[in-house]
Amino acid sequence: MKKLTTRQFKTFCDIVYKESGIYLTEEKRELLNTRIGKRLRKLCIQPDKYLALIQKDPGEMKNFLDAVSTNHTYFFRESKSFKYLEKGCRDIWCAACSSGEEPYSIAAYCMELGVQPSILATDISISCLEKGKKAIYPRQCSTNIPNPMLRHYFQKGQGKWEAYIRVKAEIRRLVHFGKFNLIKDKLPSRKFDSIFCRNVMIYFDNPSKESVVNQLPGVLKHGGYFIIGGAESLNGLNHSLKYIEPGVYKKTKE
* Residue ranges of domains in the chain, CATH in brackets: 6-68 (1.10.155.10), 79-137+169-250 (3.40.50.150)
User: In this predicted model, what pLDDT tens digit does every residue of 32-64 receive, in sequence order?
Assistant: 888 888 889 889 999 999 999 999 998 899 888
Burial class of residue 196 in the structure, from the number of CB atoms within 10 Å of its CB (0-12 exposed, 13-18 middle, 19+ buried): buried
Share of the chain above pLDDT 90, in %: 67
- Give residue 66's pLDDT: 84
CA angle, 97 then 98 then 101, to 5°: 75
Q: What does the pLDDT read at residue 95?
A: 96
pLDDT digits (tens, 9 = 90+) for 124-138: 999 899 999 999 999
For position 70, what pLDDT does the model report? 65
Task: Indicate whether 162 pLDDT > 80.
Answer: yes
Span 236-241, mean pLDDT?
A: 92
Q: Pick the closest to residue 115 from 186, 53, 171, 40 (CA basis).
A: 171
Q: What is the DSSP letter of 190?
A: S
If you count DSSP H runs as helices and E runs as strands, how many of each does the chain have, helices first?
9, 10
pLDDT for 32 equals 87
Mean pLDDT computed over every residue of the chain: 91
- Among 30-39, 114-123, 160-169, 208-217, where is mean pLDDT lowest? 30-39
Mean pLDDT of 188-199: 95
